Amino acid sequence: MQSKKLSIILMIVIVTVAGWFVSVKAFLGIDNEKAQILLVQEADGYVLKELYVRAIPKYKEALTYDVGNNAEIETKLLNTYDLYGDIINYVKLAEKRMADNTAAEQEYIRVADYYLSTNKIAEAMETVKLGMTQTGSDTLHDYYEENRYQCRTRTVNYEVVTPTYKNTIMPALDGEKWIYIGPDGRDLGIGSFDTAVPFNDDGYAVVSVDGQYKTILQSGDLYGIDELGVEDVFAVSGNRILARYKGKYSYFNFDFQPLTQGSHQYDQITCNNNGVAAVKSGNAWGIITDGGDTVVDFAFSDVAVNSLKNAFSGGHAMVKDSNGWYLIDTKGNRLNDQIYAAAKAPESPNGYIAVGNSNGKWGFADLDGTLVIDYKYDDARSFSDGVAAVCVGETWTYISALGKTVIDYSLDDAQPFHSGTALAHFVDGTVIISLEYVE
């Protein structure tokens, strides 16, 4: 009996203490809320008077009372940092809110603007991409497309610069002689030649001196000499030289010895890419494999060739017959039913392709043949590295896949980007454009 009474008394005490604790907690909560409200009111007053240096500590103190209004107070503090010009603390608080998924659209833009201003382009774009994921904002998506193509330029005094796949070693015509330059436009010291073609991936190139062609290495060392008397060298493609001998293009090794005897002689030829190349005989073009086997037997009236001297990129090429231009794969199969009045060659595996209409205007189509950017340009080159060169009147600029101008220089000519580098021309000379960030 005594034990039962003790149990009842203990329960009464526990309930009483719990009730008292809840009451005290509620009282303290109300007290904390009032304290927070007073601090915010005081800070708001300072902001109205532009006394930001006094408002900021009040907002920060108010945030120590976590009674449910902190997100709103953080917004007030952010705005005050912005008004005060304290971008560092603005960024810190905004990134904390981004981590909490409470940041507003404008905060992502403001932080990205800061990173762009300090040349931290990757950080800026990562911030915007996070905002796109967390908010689904179309404004952030547009901001991303408009700003992810930051670039810098170098003007160099070369008459011609030949683009390459990586654009790390490029032939350049310096007055009367050809040299090899790096992406910064400086002479790499490989030598001075009458003609020069780009190096292949294994470091072989062909140059000519006093009418004789030679194979060289990137060190400038001589590797092979033409004793046959070839008339022209188109390119070094893979492990072979594409050269003209007795009026016909064919394949030669690095000692200029023919790789085929009597067969595979063409009036024109392209570099081998994706395992195939385009070749011309008479007035017709065909497709052959790297081994020389016929894929399409001279069925096309024309084949588009890109800035790297390839017909194919990403396994597709633009070809023409009596009906017009259309897209094929490496087996010669049509990829869609679309026919175009004009077309440029693809420059990258998945980039939009420049296509023209019967009125002489250019737009862009995807691999399904869908016109994704309307016919509105006077000239254009296919997309690569996410951008494309377009011409209106006589001025060239670069656009994004949304059709918005993203590299706004008034250029006389502009070539496609490859590995983040493009070649263009002002009146004063050649311009090397380097993208700072590309996804």
Instruction: Indicate whether 205 belongs to any domain.
Output: no
User: Given this model, what pLDDT does residue 18 score?
Assistant: 45
- Contact criterion met (CB below 8 Å) for 82 and 74: no
Task: pLDDT band for 15, please (50, 70, 90 cuts).
Answer: very low
Residue 83 lies in a domain: yes
DSSP E strand boundaries for 383-420: 387-392, 395-400, 405-411, 413-414
Q: Which residues pair with 207 in a beta bridge?
A: 196, 214
pLDDT at 60: 96
Say if 352 falls within a structural domain: no
At 14, the pLDDT band (50, 70, 90 cuts) reads: low
In a domain, 96, yes or no: yes
> Which tens digit of pLDDT belongs to each residue from 252-284?
999 999 998 778 999 999 999 999 999 999 999
233 sits in which H/E element = strand 232-237
Residue 423 reports pLDDT greater than 80: yes
Residues 223-232: pLDDT tens digits? 999 999 999 9
Classify residue 16: in a domain, yes or no. no
Alpha-carbon distance of 327 to 325, in angstroms, equals: 7
CATH of the domain at 39: 1.25.40.10
The separation between the first and the last C-alpha atoms of the chain, rounded to the nearest angstrom, is 80
With beta carbons less than 8 A apart as the criterion, state whether 287 and 276 touch. Answer: yes
**Tell me: the pLDDT tens digits for 127-172?**
999 999 999 999 999 899 888 888 889 999 898 999 999 899 999 9
In 3D, which of 240, 326, 315, 327 has the Cα closest to residue 276? Answer: 315
Residue 74 lies in domain? 25-151
66 sits in the region (left: phi over 0; alpha: psi -120 to 50; else beta) called beta
Using alpha carbons, list the distances in angstroms from residue 415 to 137, 215, 353, 418, 422. Answer: 33, 27, 14, 9, 6
Residue 113 lies in a domain: yes
Is residue 138 situated within a structural domain?
yes
> In total, how many domains does the chain have?
1
pTM of the model: 0.80
CA 328, 333, 337 angle in degrees (round to 5)? Answer: 70
User: Is 33 contained in some domain?
Assistant: yes
Contacts of 283 (CB under 8 A, 6+ apart): 301
